[in-house]
Structure 1
Amino acid sequence: MSTILYARASTLSQTIADQEAQASAAGFAIDQVVWDEGVSGVRVRLAERAQGRRLFDMLRSGDTLVVRWVDRLGRSYADATDAIREFMRRGVIVRTVINGLTFDGATADPVQQAVRDALIAFMAATDQAQAEATKEAQRAGIEHAKANNANKYRGRKPSYSREQFNAVRDMLAQGTRIGMIAVASGLTRQTIYRIRNDVGVAERALVEWGM
């Protein structure tokens, strides 16, 4: 029986090394790391990613699949829930680094199954809603900046990049501790607190500077 970490990084600030370090810090003894880098979890399904396909080939009954959060498997409801249910059907245990959640097919109790499946569905739906809201906010911010761009004082240039902002916002939404976000993003705690306290203002600052 093996413990395999699957990591996915779609931006420069979401590194594979950080996800591996977080898993080790959480107490996971990882036998093998499988990763996809520069791949969107919104547009590309797990089974269509080069290394995502490997998971379906290599995982066996009794193995444990570790992910930082279910959004590493997919940012769409259908993709994430389908993947987790398929792994459970095969006897694979799925565990998350954040919050230490465990999903498996061991229980035969219908109430426990219902609770488990409802939690999986809720987490996957939240991830998709967040991804869609982010894209909409970016579009709205760009249009706002275009409409108000004539000789406008833009204020101080943000101390964070678009990739760092996206990573911080995602980790905040997942309940990651500020200290861990600081290590993963390379930003100061003060910057992360400013983003957390007003995500809209932080987003507009990036757009106004064309970032």
Structure 2
Amino acid sequence: MAKTVFYARVSTADQTLEHQRRQAELAGFKIDQEIADHGVSGISTKLAERPQGKRLFDILRPSDTLVVRWVDRLGRDYRDVSDSIRLFMRDGVVIKTVINAMVFDGATKDPIQQAVRDALIAFMAATAEAQAVATKEAQKAGIEDAKSDPRSYRGRKPSYDREAFDTVVTMLGTGAGASAIAKVTGLTRQAVLRIREDRIGAEKALAMWAL
């Protein structure tokens, strides 16, 4: 019997498995099994090398569905993400994302649909890696500022946490509007627009507040 497996990667203290699962349930997914990795980097640790991520390759069977909040939960490395998705599809597994309701299904035989699907995989995997690089640089800038002057003014504490920020950036990368993003994240539309207009500054604020 086909099953739906939800996979979450919780990499920071303010990200929670419960929140990611609740997002999936609100999107209409009925989860049969839940697998999660905690405190694992999506950049340095491939999916197949994570304590729980590697279980996916053992338990998923043809016709099963793998649900993730977005492809960045599978990883932040372009090749690892795209290779993992294609491997699952070759095994008959359907991958679905909570954000933007993307579906990757290897069963399609239509060459145009295949081309569109493969282009989406490449785009989303590249976006996940680009976000990781930008995040790292902004965090570094915030940490350096704090080190240079421990008394430096940090400004107002951000109204968003790391998970909300990641969701905003992810949805902006897929073309979502500010109102739709605000509805998903619970942030105000103005907060979403501030992140959109100055992502580096928003990331820096998180680093300055150690969020």
Structure 1-normalised TM-score? Answer: 0.84
Letter in 1 for 2:66: L
Residue of structure 1 equivalent to 2:199: 199
Cα 1:136–1:94 shift into 2, 3 Å: same
Which runs of no fewer than 5 residues in structure 2 stay unpaired? 172-179
Q: Which runs of 4+ in 1 moved over 6 A?
A: 187-190
- The answer to whether the 8 Å contact 1:157/1:209 transfers is no
> Which amino acid is 1:169 matched to?
F
AA at the equivalent of 2:199: V
- Aligned equivalent of 1:177: 181
The 5 Å alignment of 1:61-210 reads: 61-146=62-147, 149=149, 154=153, 156-159=155-158, 164=161, 166-175=162-171, 177-182=181-186, 194-206=194-206
How high is the TM-score relative to the length of structure 2?
0.84
Long gaps (5+) in structure 1: none
Q: In the superposition, relative to structure 1, how do residues 177 and 49 fare at CA in structure 2: closer, same or farther (>3 Å)?
A: same
What CA distance in whole angstroms lies between the structure 1 residues aligned with 2:209 and 2:26?
A: 37
Greater CA radius of gyration, 1 or 2? 1
Q: Counterpart in 2 of 1:49?
A: 50
Structural RMSD (CA): 2.5
Aligned residues: 202
Q: For residue 6 of structure 1, give the secondary structure of its aligned residue in structure 2.
A: strand
The Cα of 1:158 is off from its aligned counterpart by 1.8
Q: Aligned-pair distance for 1:30? A: 0.8
Shift of residue 127 of structure 1? 0.8
Deviations, residues 118-175 of structure 1 (Å, cap 9, x unaligned): 110100001101101111222234344555x3865x15452568xx2x3232111122
Please tell me whether the aligned partners of residues 178 and 192 of structure 1 are also in contact (alpha carbons under 8 angstroms). Answer: yes
